[in-house]
């Protein structure tokens, strides 16, 4: 009896782990176009909660930016 329950629980965990994670675990990335007078700070502030410094860093990294300088019309991927 114990072995049957253990096998049933194991099968349930296996099925859950296979179906719980999609192939796009992080979701679709959003692309924004920089508007005049926008900065990485204001973009991060309007799209992310919490510590804006971390969001600025993630945007820089996702877009392979060397610094925080961006230009109006530039398209940025928001991770």
pLDDT at 15: 66
Q: Which class for 65: exposed (0-12), middle (13-18), buried (19 or more C-beta within 10 A)?
A: middle
Domain range for 40 is 25-79
Q: Is the entire prediction scored with pTM above 0.85?
A: no
Contact in structure between 38 and 44 (CB atoms under 8 Å): no
48 is a domain residue:
yes
Query: Left (φ > 0), alpha (ψ -120 to 50) or beta: where does 46 sit?
Result: alpha
State pLDDT tens for residues 1-31.
Answer: 877 776 666 666 656 555 544 444 566 789 9
58 is a domain residue:
yes
Counted domains in the chain: 1
Q: Which alpha helices (H) appear in the chain, and where do they start and end?
A: 2-20, 40-47, 52-62
15 is a domain residue:
no
Contact in structure between 34 and 43 (CB atoms under 8 Å): yes
9 is a domain residue:
no
pLDDT at 22: 41
Token duo for residue 68: 């925080």
């Amino acid at each position: 009896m114990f072995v049957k329950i253990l096998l049933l629980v194991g099968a349930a965990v296996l099925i859950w782990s296979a179906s719980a994670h999609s192939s796009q675990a992080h979701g679709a990335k959003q692309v924004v176009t920089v508007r005049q007078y926008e900065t990485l700070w204001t973009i991060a502030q309007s799209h992310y909660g919490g510590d804006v410094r971390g969001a600025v860093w993630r945007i820089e990294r996702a877009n392979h930016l060397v610094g925080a300088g961006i230009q109006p019309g530039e398209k940025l991927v928001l991770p």
